[in-house]
Each structure stands twice: as structure tokens, then as C-alpha cells.
Amino acid sequence: MIGTLSGKSQFFRPGGGGKRHKYRFSRKKEASTLARARWSLKLIVLLAAVGAAVGLGNVWRFPYYAGKYGGGAFLVPYVIMLLVLGVPLLIMEFAIGQRMQLGAIGSLQKIRPKFSGIGLGAVLCGFVVVSYYAVIIAWCLLYSIYSIDLKWGADTKEFFLESVLDLSSNPGEIGQISVPILYSLVAVWVLIYFSVWKGVRSVGKVVMVTMPLPVLLLVVLAIRALFLPGGMSGVIYYLRPNFEALKDFELCSAASSQIFFTLSLAFGIMIAYASFRDRSSEIAKTAIVTAIINSAISIVAGLAVFATLGYMATESGVDVAQLAGKDSISISFQVFPKAFSGIPFAPLFAFGFFIMLITLGVDSAFSLVEAASTVIHDKYPHVRTEDLALHVCIVGLLSGIIFTTSAGMYYLDIVNHFITFYGLVIFGLLEVLAVGWWYGAENLRTYINEVSDIKIGKWWTWLIKFVIPVVLVVLLVTSFWKDCHEPYEGYAQWAIWCFGWGMLIVVFAVSFLFAHFSKADD
Ligand code: TRP
């Protein structure tokens, strides 16, 4: 969706400028007008947060993980991680950004100067993510064009892997850059850049249209697929809970990575976002509602995907599990085009659907550009935000080019595993320790309860100080053990080092050096 954070800067900082201003109604207004203005302001706060969270993480990544890890088996750790990690961390990020009125680096630096490195690391992880995330939006853009004549034909899998990606057989065969994907990528970055300053005025209205429409379409697709032969079997595979799965640490790691990703946690995004809000804005309810809407959308997207997958499995005479697990990273691009076949006005619906996915994705990508510009702006208030955003976009575009090659999907898979698990979990852990122990979770809880409609109990402090750090450390250690013993997905070691560990090491080294040279008054 278009226009969130910059939008907020206008909504919440009427005076503009480098420093955060408390939102005040400058002129006297009638009571009713005032009440309405406040109400719409609250709604916009919520919609903007939802806009940053909901994106391709819900329609592409969630079904991918559900497919890879066994449908209902994935849903159980997902819901648990949402409650244990997602909601408490979202409350924490909202609170710390709003309290400090600074982006991730500044907020953490205020707690302790050296903690600035944690904020930088989070933003860098987000930067790596946005470089491949934009490529996925570019695929959506291509699909919106292919929709016009339903170019994908009957075999949507072959179409995606061969005709669109021209996928090579292994990461070593880099092949060539796909020109259509590259052009789309450029178009996507232009869109992202323009939404930074164009979307500003339209924030509330745009979000209100671009959010419900794709959700409505997803519901329609899900219901329709349910009535196709085999649709139900897909849904059963997806929804049948499997509590045994909780014993498998890999599933729990995957679920935690998905929660961080989908709620944009530990990217510095939600902290930057909250920093634009008035210090007395509601926190707990906003966070809870954001998390609920976000996960509800993921679950509906999963329904549409798995019902259609059930139909596809029946059509080709194989098992749903077999179809779901294989090439699951591309599952949405195999399944959604198929879901449109046979419905009246298919090209029109498909076109609309992919355009809406683009708006969902651009909104999330844009929130990162905004988070990155915010941290730089905090440090160098004299630099114009537009210039910062332009530079961030250009670097993002250039770093995404590697993912447009024939082996791009392999690289994307590796980066997606390493950065969105190790990167986010480690920076998430450091963040939670900094806030929980140095700043003081109880301290923050008092503040949250002062401003929130929903009061949070002592359980939150316990989660932040003890439970979440322990859970994250256990997941880190077990995943590290596994990844050291067997190469992720059997990829060649050089690829894993280059796109996995290597990239992590660079992010950590830069953050560490930054922290090392940080001073209190920077
Ligand atoms: N929350 C977004 C989604 O679900 C994904 C996301 C998180 C993201 N952090 C990001 C996208 C950083 C771009 C950059 O789609």
C-alpha cells in the first residue's frame, strides 16, 4: 500500500522539520469536529501500521512456509509464536519508538550509546530483505501484464519456473539477467520512490481501498476453490492441527522467522513508524489489532492457496502434501494464476489481483525505505529526506539485480533463510535484552499502561525479560547446530557462505563497528 510513514510525518508532525512535534490541534475547533478528527487520526494510525505489516509476507511467504512445513503442522507453532513473540514485541517496538520519538538507532542509542549498533543491524537486515522483496513485487508486476491474456496457460508451475524465471539447475549456473524482470524491478523501485513523497497526502484513503479489496478477492477465491473437486482436501491438509510438530525445532524456527517478517519486527520499521506518533497515542490495542488483522489476512491467503492446491492435486492425481512441499517458495505464483482459470472475466480479476499485490508490497517496502531514511535523518537532520530516499532506492535496486538472474531464486531462498532467521532473531534478541534489562520492561509497561486503552499485566514484563530471550536463544542454537551439520536445502557450500553466513557476517561487522565508534552525543 502506498503512503504510510511519510504520510504520518505530515499527519503527526504538522510543523514538519527534523524534530518530532507533539500533535496538537492548533486552532480551537468545535467539540464534535475535534472528536471526529481524533477518531480519524486513530484510525489512520492503525491503518498505517497494518499497511506496513501486511504485504507479500502474507500472500507469498506465509503459504510458502505452510506448504513447506506441512500445512496444519505449521499453523500450530505459527499461532504460538504470534502470541509469545509477535504481540509482545510489537507492543514493545511501538512503545519504545513512541517514547523516544526517534528511529531504531536513536532509540536504542538513548538507552545506551553502544546499542546504536543494534538499531543499525536491524535496519541493514531490512535493507537486505527489501532488495529481494522488490524482486518479488516485480514478479507480481509481470503477472499483472500476463493476466491480460492469461498467458500462463494450464501448466502454471512450468510457466513460472521456466518461462518467467528461466530457472537454472543450481546456484552455480548463474545464467543471465532476465530483462523483463529487470525492467519490472526498475518500475517497482520507481513506484517505491514515488510513494515516499507522493503517497503522503493520500495515506488514509489509499490504505482503506487497497487493504480490503485484495482480502475480499482472497475470500472469493478461497470460497470458490472450496467447491472445486479436491478443494476440501487441500483445506483439511492446511487446517488440521498437528501438535507433534511443536517438538520439531525447525518448524518453531520457521514460525518465529515468519512472525518477525510478517509483523516487520526487528527491522527498525515499527520503531520508526511509532516515533512519528504523539507520545500519548494508544499502544497496546493498536498492536493487538494490527497483529490480528495481519494474521487473519495470512490465514485467508493460506485458505485460498491450499483450497486451490487441493484442486490441482486432484486434477493431476497426486497428494496435496507432495504438491505443497515441492518448490513451495514459488507456490503462490503457481497457485493464484490457476485459481483464476475458469472464472468469468478471469483476465480482469487476475489483473486487479496482481495490481493489488503490488500495492500491498510497495507499502511494506516503502516503510523500510522510510525507516532507513529516518535513522539517517535523525543523525543528519540537514539532509533532505527525498534525497536520502532516492539514494536508498538506488542502492536497493542495484543490490536486487542479482536476484533477477536465472539462479536468482536460489539466492533469494538462501538470503531469505539466513537473514530473516538469524539476522532478525539475533537483532530481535539484542533489542529485547536492551529494552527489557537496560531500559527496564516494567518502566516501559508503566508508560504503555498510561496511554493504552487495554492495560497489560505483569505477564508482558516476564515475556520480555525472560521467556522471549530464552525462546530465541534456544531457536538460535538449535538452528545453528542444524545449519552447521547439513547445508540448507542441500545448496553448495560456497552459495551458503556467500549469500548466507557471509552476508550475516557483513551485517554484524558493520553494526559492531558502528556501535564501537558511537558516542552518547552523536
Ligand atoms: N511485513 C512485510 C510483509 O509481510 C514484510 C517486510 C518486513 C518487509 N520487513 C520488510 C518488506 C522490510 C520490505 C522490507 O510483507
122 lines ligand 1 (CB under 6 A): no
The protein residue whose alpha carbon is closest to atom 14 in ligand 1 is 130
Q: Pick from 245, 261, 194, 197: which is nearest to 69 by CA? A: 245
368 lines ligand 1 (CB under 6 A): yes
The protein residue whose alpha carbon is closest to atom 7 in ligand 1 is 264
User: What's the 130 CA to ligand 1 centre distance in angstroms?
Assistant: 7
496 lines ligand 1 (CB under 6 A): no
- Report d(CA 23, CA 344) in Å as an integer: 49
pLDDT in tens, 122-161: 999 999 999 999 999 999 999 999 999 999 988 999 999 9
User: What's the 124 CA to ligand 1 centre distance in angstroms?
Assistant: 13
* pLDDT attached to residue 30: 44
- Report d(CA 80, CA 253) in Å as an integer: 12
Secondary structure of residue 227 in the 3-state scheme: coil
102 lines ligand 1 (CB under 6 A): no
pLDDT in tens, 26-68: 333 444 444 444 445 667 767 778 888 999 999 999 999 999 9
pLDDT in tens, 390-408: 888 999 999 999 999 999 9
- Report d(CA 2, CA 294) in Å as an integer: 17
Among 18-22, 241-245, 273-277, 361-365, name the one with the lowest average pLDDT.
Answer: 18-22
- Contact call for residues 185 and 398 (beta carbons, < 8 A): no
- Contact call for residues 85 and 425 (beta carbons, < 8 A): no
User: What's the 57 CA to ligand 1 centre distance in angstroms?
Assistant: 6
- Contact call for residues 334 and 157 (beta carbons, < 8 A): yes
- Contact call for residues 80 and 247 (beta carbons, < 8 A): no
Report which ligand 1 atom has the smallest distance to the Cα of 294. 4
% of residues, the chain, pLDDT over 90? 59
**pTM for the whole thing?**
0.89
400 lines ligand 1 (CB under 6 A): no
Amino acid at residue number 213: L
Report which ligand 1 atom has the smallest distance to the Cα of 52. 1
